[in-house]
Structure 1
Amino acid sequence: MNTYTNNETKLQQRFIKYAEIDTQSDASSTTCPSTAKQKKLAKVLVNELLSIGITDAHLDENGYVYATIPSNTNKTVPVICFCSHMDTSPDCSGENVKPIIHQNYQGQDLVLPDDINVVLRLSEHKDLKHQIGNDIITASGTTLLGADNKAGVAEIMEVAEFLMQNPTVKHGEIKILFTPDEEIGRGVDKVDLKRLNADFAYTVDGETLGSIEDETFSADGVKLIIKGVSAHPGFAKGKMESAIKALADILSALPKNKLTPEATSEKEGFIHPVDIKGNAEQAEADFIIRDFNDELLKAHELTLENVVKEVIKSYPNSNYELKITEQYRNMKKALDQHPQIMDYGIEAIKRAGISPIKRSIRGGTDGSRLSFMGLPCPNIFAGEHAFHSKQEWVSVQDMEKAVQTIINIACIWEENA
């Protein structure tokens, strides 16, 4: 039986320790991991895993942490992996994170002390209404918190320690995987699935208490290169065709009330420019294209190209190049072939005393790509909220429920073996 109860503040202290380590990834880097500082947290995790008796815990050359909790049952149970990522988003500073515990939250505005303009309001963070009486952790107002995904890392570590110390809780072999660079889309680029040797997996990287997700966006990256005609600006009449101006016209011509993140929700896809650079001779823009439907994904890419073709007509001596790179695909196709993965996850949430919420992710996880690499992998809640921002927060009590859910998943797979 799962008898996990939090040992006073141990879980929150574990999380805070991880949150204080700067692990931002860097999309402009070509190394793996993209930043060496991610290995600082990885080494801490390996040492903790070894200290609780997991003998094979190790960090590989690419920044991945692997570990095995041995089976303690006579049954033949599928090998289950629990996975979280160690990096934090480049979208907001992760340097000198100062976690603050707001005990016994009562619905008040949470004004963060290092920047009083950063305020968490109940009216803006709807899930706070479910946190009355709970302990909320935020950063101090100048950085993100890192609950995405150090909440998941802390929860898996808590599970590992509990299972190693409680042999009466029966489970099969369990694999632990901590990945770098998830936030820049490279979280499983160099994962060694043979070394991992798992049958099924769960990422612990979701938001609302009780949520379990079996569907993500399908995602492509697009690089648009405009090659214009440069000339000395004093003698440019009839000669210059500015690539910057052509790119600006293209961005302005894209849909504004649809197919853009600020105008879409639920299962609506979008075209989103994320980076631009250039000069009169050549300008570039990077886009992310998203949709839950692969055919619509291709249609959005065609929409972008049609806009480019129309605008470039006004620049007759200029040309363009469009490079499309597949990033990940909706994991539902892979997961529907193994319905027990979701069934056991939903049952585990119920056993933790929570109402399950089956959702789709307007984003992706490491599980998106793992599922298509042969390791079916839905996503369960870690309790993180307002991620990638200075208002990021997590509830200690939600994290405890995530720990209980993970233990329940391990037990349910053993029961049904």
Structure 2
Amino acid sequence: MTSVFDWLDTRADERRRAGLARQLRPRRPDSDLLDLAGNDYLGLSRDKRVTGAAAAATLRWGAGSTGSRLVTGTIEAHTELEHELAAFCGTQAALVFSSGFTANLGAITALSGKGSAIVTDAYLHASLIDGCRLSRADVAVVAHADPAAAAHALRTRRTERALLVTDSVFSVDGDLAPLPALFEACRATGAALVVDDAHGFGVLGEGGRGAVADAGLSGEPDVVTTLTLSKALGAQGGAVLGPRRVIKHLVDSARSFIFDTGLAPASTAAALAALTVLREEPDLPRRARAAAVSLAERLRAAGLTVTDPAAAVVSVLAPSPEQAVRWAEDCRAAGVWVGCFRPPSVPDQVSRLRLTARADLTPADLDLAVKVITHHAPPGAAS
């Protein structure tokens, strides 16, 4: 009997032949692998101050938030976290979502819509791309990190309202968007700037206040920042920061906020505790950046093609998807867990290993990482 889903088998075969098949691989809590694949930039996901706060919140509030934020899903910790995030980053207000993905969907769809325009960088994260697709706005995609192209698209738009949307630190190569120039383009054309600071928050700026703060744009009336609580803060969830009237508008109209269950108490309390640790230990971001620079310099010295890290992401190019997968598997077998990015996850269609540095990496950890990655590099990986 022919199944309506037979086409899925065909697509799966195509992905396997192209070296693009993916699999879920659960990690163990007691793994002895050196983790350079996760996004725990400050090493706080297992910090006892953070996990203790999560456990205490679960015992006090329960395992889940029980409903949407507008019904029963808002707890005291949500509002406290929103206040602390806004104060830390220098914005008027903040709104906590259940994930960075839903925060991006909510911000973009609620601030645009039919009859408006969105100009985006070609290398946007998938959540931002999906937000643009759902927005029903006129979307123009411009060259990566090109303020002149963005300014031209904004000047020639046919709508009154417009957003310029970009990542701060791009998740694949770890390069930094030219935020001051993009902001100038927005000011000159009457557009708002929306920046996803997922990979900059907690790593860049004074004390980890993020790329937007580092560019001097926090608190500007036409700038909105989104971020995730699952990277530098080692927890879960997302947030939108910006002018108070923007945040109020999101509460009233962002569907990914209104119709979504609120962030769990454990994750909320964990993020709040991690933010407190970041305030108390402002050198953590510098240590994460230093580890990234060390990895990049040493791997490049070994002959590999490596990007210059603006924050904590280091990208090492691979000759092909199949070789990237094998390279990552060989590294894992040798004790180092690295990320493996292949099309369609990479906008330039070039496969690579993606390494994430952490503030708690030791000199011995860095030595091991460089030794393993270079030893298992496939033919053609060297520049």
State whether TM-score is above 0.5: no
Larger Rg: 1
User: Whose helix proportion is higher, 1 or 2?
Assistant: 2
TM-score by length of 1: 0.27
User: Whose strand proportion is higher, 1 or 2?
Assistant: 1
